[in-house]
Chains A and B, each alone.
Chain A
């Protein structure tokens, strides 16, 4: 071959096999992280918002709510704010697919010789990773609100955040698959993200609520993620049984308190169903 003859990439019959799918997952995941770390402003704003909720709103409400010892309303809110951080970051990442569609990059991904499912899984993995990173940053504030830096507690919370981040990103990608314009993003925020947040028990206990509200909280998948996280926090702080009952009543079905395993199982089920539906939506060729 002459010197100026280009190197021709070997012809690969890639496509459809597991290796190229895994490679696609990795590539799409890495792009999400590249974009996440490149956008410093977004990193900062998604950090400031939960901090405001926790330190300003939490301090304000602390005087109204019962407290005892080191445990106060901020301690109660902490797991809720972790969930909120994951919720906002995960949905925002997922819905960036709508931006990708608007600016054409989605097409670049969808025409690649890999199964569409791999692209969707990569997108979910990327969104979930950024959400967990953002949540982990919040975890650093534990000491400010009377939550001890116990390794087992931090690992438990981190693990629970991973599960909920995957579920929420999958849900977001599923929503994005049906959205064709950026304008719908506002609607998703108002009709899905905010109700999910308010009904999750993140900022008030889901027990002892009026009938209508308690029905709604039980329909919110995020509630089944907040409760296990709160229970983990309350096993690591000293709170009187009375205080526990007020703040950590948890979710009950007809008076039966759900075990943590079942709660997390519900979140996992949401993740699996949403992911499967999202893959199916994107795999449908025109």
Chain B
């Protein structure tokens, strides 16, 4: 199926040639819990084939938004369409076009892997003529084909998560929702899960909508929406977001720091400082700046390092705090309103 999709443009993350069909359209969605505003009017669109990431601290309103999109929670106001169906008026149609993987497992430990998939396939109306084939396919996609007849209770956390991803795909949904797909997993398993997600996007014409509060995971997305305090702060590709806050950091190891700082100021009007033993300064496009630096600095350089801004820097720029600090302050808000957390959540 990947051949049918136009190539993804690295700069915008959107498919280049023509605008892909919009699969998720959200318009001014609001949800209150009592007097607490969990989601305060978010609007965005997600095109077919995108990996769209909702990035924000715990309690920012990510799960509440996903629950509304999955028709598990009614919005206080606003509207949203998934694959063209209204989440309030056509919830059953929305549900048959989405796959869901929750933070906590929702498997039956007393059934085998294939019985769990069978249950789901039948419940979602996957016809008997195609069921075996789909089951085989999704099991091998997540590398569990040889464990199909084992009880799920004997699976590790990572295997369960993979099985849930497989289950979420068995009915060929248009959109796969992954709520914190890698939370509580070890780094190696997390890396594997991401491989599956990428492979998936390539193999099935599917849109992936995920939430995460790991900065490094957001890098995998074609576009990211940064969410804080129930509102969208910004939506763009990871690269564009990083470019927007601009400057790359350049660190130089030099024999003579003072002379180098003076030369930088004289030749390029740049203000540099010594940080952790390196002469450090910021420029808009670090990689293009390096040749100019070599040509005009007139000072010996023993090593050079150019680093791009991280999403941590992006989050910091837009919200004025690190994601860690944001979690600490929203934790209080969430504890006072248990309904904002999901039943059986972490």
Task: Tell me, yes or no, whether A236 is within 8 Å of chain B by CB.
Answer: no
A31 to B115 Cα, complex, angstroms: 9
Are B122 and A102 in contact, with the CB atoms below 8 A? no
Are A113 and B344 in contact, with the CB atoms below 8 A? no
Are A31 and B170 in contact, with the CB atoms below 8 A? no
Are A14 and B96 in contact, with the CB atoms below 8 A? yes
**Chain A binder among B130-138, B274-282, B283-291, B295-303:** B130-138
**Chain A binder among B17-25, B103-111, B185-193:** B103-111
CB neighbours (8 Å) of B96 from chain A are 12-15, 113
0/1 per residue, B244-279, Cβ < 8 Å to A?
000000000000000000000000000000000000
Q: Which residue of B lies closest to A108 (CB)?
A: B106
Q: Secondary structure of the A side of the interface?
A: loop
Of the candidates A2, A9, A109, A110, the one whose C-beta lies within 8 Å of that of B171 is: A9
- Interface size of A by Cβ–Cβ distance < 8 Å? 41
CB neighbours (8 Å) of A4 from chain B are 203
CB proximity of B8 to chain A, nearest CB, Å: 19
Task: Tell me, yes or no, whether B95 is within 8 Å of chain A by CB.
Answer: yes
CB neighbours (8 Å) of A6 from chain B are 1, 134, 137, 203-204
Of the candidates A103, A110, A113, the one whose C-beta lies within 8 Å of that of B93 is: A113
CB neighbours (8 Å) of B124 from chain A are 12, 14, 112-113
- A103-B109 in contact given A8-B204, A9-B172 (Cβ < 8 Å): yes
A140 to B236 Cα, complex, angstroms: 70
Are A109 and B93 in contact, with the CB atoms below 8 A? no
CB neighbours (8 Å) of B72 from chain A are 110-111, 285-286
Of the candidates A11, A107, A112, the one whose C-beta lies within 8 Å of that of B172 is: A11
CB neighbours (8 Å) of B343 from chain A are 101, 180
0/1 per residue, B68-82, Cβ < 8 Å to A?
001111100000000
CB proximity of A179 to chain B, nearest CB, Å: 12
A102 to B172 Cα, complex, angstroms: 28
CB proximity of A281 to chain B, nearest CB, Å: 15
CB neighbours (8 Å) of A194 from chain B are none
Task: Tell me, yes or no, whether A178 is within 8 Å of chain B by CB.
Answer: no
Q: Which residue of A lies closest to B137 (CB)?
A: A6
Are A104 and B95 in contact, with the CB atoms below 8 A? no
Are A27 and B137 in contact, with the CB atoms below 8 A? no
- A105-B106 in contact given A112-B123, A285-B74, A286-B74 (Cβ < 8 Å): yes
Of the candidates A2, A5, A15, the one whose C-beta lies within 8 Å of that of B95 is: A15
Q: Which residue of B lies closest to A119 (CB)?
A: B123
Task: Tell me, yes or no, whether B120 is within 8 Å of chain A by CB.
Answer: yes
CB neighbours (8 Å) of B108 from chain A are 31, 35, 103, 105, 108
Q: Which residue of B lies closest to A17 (CB)?
A: B92
Q: Which residue of A lies closest to B95 (CB)?
A: A113
Task: Tell me, yes or no, whether A3 is within 8 Å of chain B by CB.
Answer: no
A27 to B115 Cα, complex, angstroms: 11
CB proximity of A10 to chain B, nearest CB, Å: 7
- A104-B123 in contact given A9-B170, A113-B96, A286-B74 (Cβ < 8 Å): no
Are A35 and B92 in contact, with the CB atoms below 8 A? no
Task: Tell me, yes or no, whether A34 is within 8 Å of chain B by CB.
Answer: yes
CB neighbours (8 Å) of B71 from chain A are 111, 285
CB proximity of A15 to chain B, nearest CB, Å: 3
- A114-B92 in contact given A10-B130, A14-B125, A104-B344 (Cβ < 8 Å): yes
CB proximity of A185 to chain B, nearest CB, Å: 16
Are A16 and B111 in contact, with the CB atoms below 8 A? no
Q: Which residues on A are within 8 Å of B, measured CB to CB? A: 2, 4-16, 20, 23-24, 26-27, 31, 34-35, 38-39, 101-105, 107-115, 180, 285-286
Q: Which residues on B are within 8 Å of A, measured CB to CB? A: 1, 3, 70-74, 91-93, 95-97, 100, 102, 104-111, 115, 119-120, 122-127, 130, 133-134, 137, 170-172, 203-205, 343-344
